[in-house]
Amino acid sequence: MLLLKLRNRHFLLLDVFVMLLTPLAALMVRLDTFTIPREFWLSLALYTLAALAVRLFVFRRMGLYARYWRYASVEELVQMVTAVIISTTLLTTGTLLLRAFAPFVFARSVLLIDGLLVLLAVGGLRFSVRAFSQNSFQPDANRRRVLIMGAGDAGEMVVREMKRRPNQGLLPIGFLDDDSAKHHLSIHGVPVLGSRKEIPRLVAQYKVDQIILAMPTATGATIREVVGICEMLGVETRIVPSLPEILLQGRIRPQQLRRVQIEDLLRREPVQTDIQAVRALISGKRVLVTGAGGSIGGELCRQLLQCGPRELLLLGHGENSVFEIYHELHGLDLHGPQITPLIADVRFAERLLTLFEQHRPEIVFHAAAHKHVPLMELNPAEAITNNVLGTRNLLAAALAVDVAHFVMISTDKAVNPTSIMGASKRAAELLVHQAARRSGRPYVAVRFGNVLGSRGSVVLTFQKQIARGGPITVTHPDIRRFFMTIPEATQLVLQAAVLGQGGEVFVLDMGEPVKIVDLAKDLIRLSGLEPGKDVAIEYVGLRPGEKLYEELFIPGENYRRTAHAKIFIATNASSFVPADLDGGIAQLAQAAARNDADAIRRGLRALAPEFSPSNGQTAVVPPPAPAGQTAPPAAAAPESVRTTTN
């Protein structure tokens, strides 16, 4: 259509034509006649030329000839109204001044009428482009009929993008929302038809092909329910990006809609991070992230980049992973802070100290660690040299250059550990607490459970097994784990940097632990298959050092909720530091140098008496929490905190 091919140069010519006619039309309206008396001709001609010059000047300065009007919005409307008001004000002022010095037979109301006519003409012309672009649909028969679950901001974005991009082949039939106050209303001409309970009726009535879940803050239970209904009806399900993605992009495009993933079924209410406090802490600082090429370290770097650090230091041992995150971040913000990649191994104290003295970081996020339980059972010396001695080296370098904030990423496996990996992380926690006590600085640790989508995650393993046709291997039918997403983990780490005073442990309320076998079944169903029929599930037995159930707090830790309802803090964590921690770490270092696995286990047990190397077969209920303490996360429930011991 010709209207859709108009460019800003065409609008300029059309505006000139309109502005030459509107003064005449305004005067006719004012005089209520089509015949203009002779005495008005000179004034009309002078005003028309002046109005044309002034309005074109104002329109150009306000950017009305640098807009893509096919996507015009309220912002463009406000800009247009403002331009007309400013130009009309200038013309009115000039007319009043001219009338004071020369005869000027022209009614002042003509200026107001002229302004309204200009606004209607130029505005109507431009917004008709958007109207035609939105209504130039493909035939409805060629488009997929869609219901949108969620009549909020995300749902509105989805429908707006569908109308804006009809070539995507999606036809919005209606909204679904559990808020009855929205029923029978209309958004962008699309009605709100009912709640999720009416999905079966509406799918049959409107012959729906697809349901889009536009509820970025909905819980996993809600998403699971809707997905279950859609699977029963044979309707395809799509979901909008996560809330952080929406905020980052500012809009939802149809091509961003994706299949429901396991992260969506486990979703919780988002952690309300104090973004302003985080930005205030990070802005203008030199920030170093160890393990920057890993899953958590990389996401930390992405989030930190948005907080305006003076310099972001990416420290990692693997050159390929550091190379990838460096170029990714450099491509995100070419005019942002300096990004410096550092290839180094945390095992080498002198190398770390040299780097710290050269770059003088002010905030350190320590994400580098060995994390695989079975591998560390087979290679205990590596767990000690990397997780324990590496943390000691980092802390020594941080204290040497007066690093103000230090946040170490720990794990729920450090609580009553039954594995070398868990015990090594517990020893690392103790080192952080010791450094906080000695320095008085906010050096803290953060504990969380399994991270969905991280390297080596059970989800990735299951997905590969499903792709091969199975079977999925699960160690035990009763094994459970706490799960969180990478964004959740990152938000907790950033918030801990703000909340920490020194020596605390922060824990995210991760809800109820999930049975791994249920996770496997969900993944099979999300792949369009049936558990036990298309893909088998086999139980292979617990691996060395593996627990049936994980915990979040060590017995005796005083925990309470912080100002953030989803974040807990153990305020007395530093009181567990052994008197001779340095001597114990030195003995561990010697045992690791000899590759003496038995000596390593004895040394870890001396530092953390709760360490109980186990084959993971016996599950017991730990003692109840001391009276008067605030209830911890779901891990405090007896079934949720059981752990394996000998």
The yes-or-no verdict on residue 204 having pLDDT over 80 is yes
Highest mean pLDDT (candidates 75-79, 275-279, 341-345): 341-345
Q: Which residue among 163, 285, 371, 413 is the active-site one?
A: 413
Asked if residue 7 is part of any domain, the answer here is: yes
Q: Give dist(CA 196, CA 216) in Å, integer.
A: 16
Lowest-pLDDT range of 313-327, 384-398, 425-439, 547-561? 547-561
Average pLDDT, integer, range 365-393: 93
Work out the percent of the chain whose per-residue pLDDT is above 90. 23
Asked if residue 462 is part of any domain, the answer here is: no
pTM exceeds 0.75 for this model: no
Asked if residue 317 is part of any domain, the answer here is: yes
The pLDDT value recorded for residue 619 is 38
118 and 149, same domain (yes or no): no
491 and 374, same domain (yes or no): yes
447 and 585, same domain (yes or no): yes
The pLDDT value recorded for residue 135 is 54
The yes-or-no verdict on residue 637 having pLDDT over 70 is no
| Percent of the chain as helix, strand, coil, to the nearest 5 | 50, 15, 35
Q: What pLDDT band is residue 633 in, cutting at 50, 70 and 90?
A: very low
The pLDDT value recorded for residue 34 is 81
Phi-psi region of 503 (alpha: psi -120 to 50; beta: other; left: phi over 0): left
The pLDDT value recorded for residue 245 is 52
pLDDT digits (tens, 9 = 90+) for 317-360: 989 999 999 988 887 765 678 899 999 999 999 999 999 999 99
Distances (CA, A) of 644 to 41, 383, 437: 98, 21, 32
Q: Give dist(CA 229, CA 342) in Å, integer.
A: 50
Q: Write out the two tokens for 544.
A: 């060395």
Asked if residue 270 is part of any domain, the answer here is: no
Q: Give dist(CA 362, CA 441) in Å, integer.
A: 12
Of 76, 102, 135, which marks where a domain is finished? 135
100 and 129, same domain (yes or no): yes
Give the other-Cβ count within 10 Å of 20's Cβ: 13
Q: In sequence order, what DSSP letters do the residues of 230-299 get, joined into one string? A: HHHHT-EEEEPPPHHHHHHHSS--GGG-B---HHHHT--PPP---HHHHHHHHTT-EEEEETTTSHHHHH
Asked if residue 583 is part of any domain, the answer here is: yes
Q: What pLDDT band is residue 72 in, cutting at 50, 70 and 90?
A: low
The pLDDT value recorded for residue 288 is 96
Number of domains in the chain: 3
Vertex 547: Cα angle to 546 and 548 (nearest 5): 130
168 and 303, same domain (yes or no): no
Looking up tokens 């939105």 gives 134
For residue 609, whether the previous peptide bond is cis, meaning omega lies within 30 degrees of 0, is no
Highest mean pLDDT (candidates 43-52, 102-111, 283-292, 326-335): 283-292
Looking up tokens 């091919």 gives 5
Of 225, 260, 295, which marks where a domain is finished? 260
Q: Could you tell me which residue, 231 or 313, shows the higher pLDDT? A: 313
The secondary element (H helix, E strand) that includes residue 341 is strand 338-343
Average pLDDT, integer, range 4-27: 77
Phi-psi region of 49 (alpha: psi -120 to 50; beta: other; left: phi over 0): alpha
Asked if residue 524 is part of any domain, the answer here is: no
Lowest-pLDDT range of 133-147, 155-169, 178-192, 628-642? 628-642
248 and 300, same domain (yes or no): no
Q: What pLDDT band is residue 456 in, cutting at 50, 70 and 90?
A: low
Asked if residue 268 is part of any domain, the answer here is: no
105 and 151, same domain (yes or no): no
Residue 200: domain span: 140-260
The pLDDT value recorded for residue 629 is 41
Highest mean pLDDT (candidates 442-451, 458-467, 592-601): 592-601
pLDDT digits (tens, 9 = 90+) for 83-123: 888 888 888 888 777 766 666 656 678 888 888 888 888 87
Contact by Cβ (8 Å): 450, 421: no
Q: Could you tell me which residue, 345 or 556, shows the higher pLDDT? A: 345
Nearest residue to 424 (alpha-carbon basis) of 365, 381, 375: 381
Q: Could you tell me which residue, 69 or 339, shows the higher pLDDT? A: 339
Vertex 62: Cα angle to 57 and 65 (nearest 5): 80
The yes-or-no answer on residue 163 being catalytic is: no
- Please write down the HEC assignment for all residues of 370-400: CCCHHHHHHCHHHHHHHHHHHHHHHHHHHHH
The pLDDT value recorded for residue 250 is 46
Of 135, 156, 182, which marks where a domain is finished? 135
Average pLDDT, integer, range 525-551: 80
Domain of residue 385, CATH code:
3.40.50.720
Q: Could you tell me which residue, 112 or 396, shows the higher pLDDT? A: 396
Give the other-Cβ count within 10 Å of 299's Cβ: 23
Asked if residue 458 is part of any domain, the answer here is: no
Average pLDDT, integer, range 569-597: 90
Work out the percent of the chain whose per-residue pLDDT is above 70. 81
374 and 493, same domain (yes or no): yes
The pLDDT value recorded for residue 241 is 66
Determine the straight-line distance between the first and last CA of the chain, rounded to whole angstroms. 78
Q: Could you tell me which residue, 634 or 84, shows the higher pLDDT? A: 84
The pLDDT value recorded for residue 315 is 95
Specify the 3-state DSSP secondary structure of 332.
helix
The pLDDT value recorded for residue 248 is 44
Distances (CA, A) of 398 to 61, 151, 181: 53, 50, 56
The pLDDT value recorded for residue 256 is 57
82 and 154, same domain (yes or no): no
Q: Write out the two tokens for 510.
A: 């991760």
How high is the mean pLDDT of the chain? 80
The pLDDT value recorded for residue 97 is 75
387 and 421, same domain (yes or no): yes
Phi-psi region of 139 (alpha: psi -120 to 50; beta: other; left: phi over 0): beta
Nearest residue to 469 (alpha-carbon basis) of 430, 422, 507, 524: 524
Q: At 512, phi and psi to the nearest 5? A: -80, 140
CA dihedral 162, 163, 165, 166 (to 10 degrees): 90
Nearest residue to 516 (alpha-carbon basis) of 492, 535, 542, 534: 542
Q: What pLDDT band is residue 137 in, cutting at 50, 70 and 90?
A: very low
223 and 160, same domain (yes or no): yes
Nearest residue to 12 (alpha-carbon basis) of 76, 72, 71, 55: 55
76 and 26, same domain (yes or no): yes
Q: Which residues pair with 203 in a beta bridge?
A: none
Contact by Cβ (8 Å): 607, 578: yes
